[in-house]
């Protein structure tokens, strides 16, 4: 039997645009514009209705309680800034069921009036953080400033596969700088308002086969180092900003899905999401991949957590996302196998000294998977998109037992 430390925080995660719907009750975000632009999202899917969580949150919190979740990670839609009362109701409902609210301020649904290429957006983010804290700060256990700034910068403003759909090799660096600044200013704003627990979530992907270290810098270190060490491996961020970015934080959120396998190939143009990577070619996944065509690589999670504890000591770690898209069935043995292997990999990292405090499965329910629309299903709860009916998958029942036993 593998057991996890006492008080280990088992949870599940979602994000506002991916589940809430009720688009008519808020301002527009860049994802509303992007998804309504023909050809951007598979089959013209949008988040207008999504899982209608905005109206069905009570039912969803009841399902969380049935699974036995200790914590729920959700994101706040910045475009709801004029009226954040939905999160007030959600947080109360969670607490009534004994579930700790973990709130992310930015999971990609930027109000259309802003653009991350503008430095001012970072300051607007800090004002928004203050406002959000005023509404639910007294009841949130952990704040997360940003979710996966790499994706916002390099997929939103590099390859253009995500909103706002900008294709550029230079903008991602400006955007990454401003996002990091937003993290620093947002953390300062949350602290000034009274927050004791503040974190950031990074998507971190171990790289296999790149001796130069370039891809590790572009995928991982260019976010880790400024936040946790106050240094910039790319030497693009001015010192004054690095000081703001390098705020003490209480946890590092880690989103882990897979590894990057690359090989030197002088004829390769590289990847548009890793500017400067010409001469490197991405290899196909080894073994049977998930429906995202991502390699199932639990060893990468152990390596990553151990590396983080070694290179960035003193910051507790939380897995804020891990999970897999598989075919649409409630008998999801593939997902159980994926989670089982990754839970074991996390336990192995703890054995080796990693200070891992919690684990949030992605995702609580099937949802809008960005450019793939509703075609990729990550949920441990199935959503019928015709009726919006929810059904616990076998993985949710299996997870219930893991949580109950605090182990496998």
Can you give the binding site for ligand IFM, defined by CB under 6 A?
A: 15, 18, 148, 255, 321, 362, 369, 378
Give yes or no for a contact between 382 and 51, defined as CB atoms under 8 angstroms apart.
no
Q: Is the Cβ of residue 246 or residue 368 nearer to ligand IFM in the bound state?
A: 368
Closest approach of Cβ 182 to ligand IFM, in Å? 18
Closest approach of Cβ 186 to ligand IFM, in Å? 19
Closest approach of Cβ 324 to ligand IFM, in Å? 9
Can you tell me whether residue 70 is helix, strand or coil? coil
Q: Is the Cβ of residue 196 or residue 293 nearer to ligand IFM in the bound state?
A: 293
389 is catalytic: no
Catalytic residue among 93, 273, 295, 321: 321
Q: Is the Cβ of residue 87 or residue 256 nearer to ligand IFM in the bound state?
A: 256
Catalytic residue among 148, 273, 295, 369: 148
Contacts of residue 166, Cβ cutoff 8 Å, sequence gap at least 6: 117, 156, 157, 158, 160
Give yes or no for a contact between 167 and 376, defined as CB atoms under 8 angstroms apart.
no
- Residue 346 belongs to what H/E stretch? helix 333-351
- Residue 299 belongs to what H/E stretch? helix 298-311
Closest approach of Cβ 22 to ligand IFM, in Å? 18
Region for 293 from its dihedrals, namely left if φ exceeds 0, alpha if ψ lies in -120 to 50, beta otherwise:
left
Q: Is the Cβ of residue 255 or residue 302 nearer to ligand IFM in the bound state?
A: 255
Q: Is the Cβ of residue 15 or residue 354 nearer to ligand IFM in the bound state?
A: 15
Closest approach of Cβ 321 to ligand IFM, in Å? 5
93 is catalytic: no
The Cα 100–Cα 193 span in angstroms is 20
Give the chain's length. Answer: 408
CA 256-259-261 angle, to 5 degrees, is 165
The Cα 327–Cα 394 span in angstroms is 13
Q: Is the Cβ of residue 150 or residue 244 nearer to ligand IFM in the bound state?
A: 150
Give yes or no for a contact between 377 and 363, defined as CB atoms under 8 angstroms apart.
no
Closest approach of Cβ 156 to ligand IFM, in Å? 12
Find tokens 């649904």 and name the residue.
Answer: 109
On the 0-12 / 13-18 / 19+ scale of CB atoms within 10 A, 143 is buried
Which position's Cβ is nearest ligand IFM? Answer: 15
Residue 9 in tokens: 């925080």
The Cα 178–Cα 333 span in angstroms is 41
DSSP 137-150: TTT-SEEEEEE-HH
Active site residues: 148, 321
């Amino acid at each position: 039997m593998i057991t996890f430390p006492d008080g280990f925080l088992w949870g599940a995660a979602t994000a506002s645009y991916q589940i809430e719907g009720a688009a008519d009750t808020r301002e527009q975000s860049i994802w509303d514009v992007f998804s309504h632009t023909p050809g951007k999202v598979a089959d013209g899917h949008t988040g207008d209705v999504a899982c209608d969580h905005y109206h069905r949150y009570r039912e969803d919190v009841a399902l969380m309680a049935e699974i036995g979740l200790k914590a729920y990670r959700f994101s706040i839609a910045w475009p709801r800034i004029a009226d954040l009362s939905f999160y007030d109701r959600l947080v109360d409902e969670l607490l009534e069921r004994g579930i700790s609210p973990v709130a992310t301020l930015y999971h990609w649904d930027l109000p259309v009036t802003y653009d991350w290429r503008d430095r001012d957006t970072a300051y607007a983010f800090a004002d928004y953080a203050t406002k959000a804290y005023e509404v639910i700060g007294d009841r949130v256990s952990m704040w997360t400033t940003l979710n996966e700034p790499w994706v916002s910068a390099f997929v939103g403003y590099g390859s253009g596969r995500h909103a706002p759909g900008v294709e550029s090799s230079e903008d991602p660096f400006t955007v990454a700088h401003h996002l990091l600044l937003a993290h620093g200013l947002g953390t300062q704003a949350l602290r000034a308002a009274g927050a004791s627990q503040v974190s950031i979530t990074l998507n971190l992907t171990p790289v296999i086969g790149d001796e130069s270290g370039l891809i590790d810098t572009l995928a991982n270190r260019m976010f880790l180092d400024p936040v946790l060490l106050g240094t910039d491996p790319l030497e693009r961020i001015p010192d004054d900003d690095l000081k703001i970015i390098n705020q003490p934080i209480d946890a590092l959120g880690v989103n882990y899905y897979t590894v990057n396998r690359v090989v030197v190939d002088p004829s390769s143009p590289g990847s548009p999401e890793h500017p400067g990577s010409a001469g490197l070619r991405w290899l196909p996944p080894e073994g049977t991949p998930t429906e995202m065509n991502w390699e199932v690589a639990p060893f990468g999670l152990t390596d990553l957590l151990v590396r983080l504890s070694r290179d960035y000591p003193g910051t507790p770690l939380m897995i804020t996302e891990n999970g897999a898209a598989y075919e649409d069935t409630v008998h999801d043995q593939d997902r159980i196998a994926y989670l089982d292997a990754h839970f074991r990999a996390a336990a192995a990292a703890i054995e080796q000294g990693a200070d891992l405090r919690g684990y949030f499965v992605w995702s609580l329910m099937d949802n809008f998977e960005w450019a793939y629309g509703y075609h990729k299903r990550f949920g441990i709860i199935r959503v019928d998109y015709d009726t919006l009916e929810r059904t616990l998958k076998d993985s949710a029942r299996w997870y219930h037992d893991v949580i109950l036993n605090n182990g496998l």
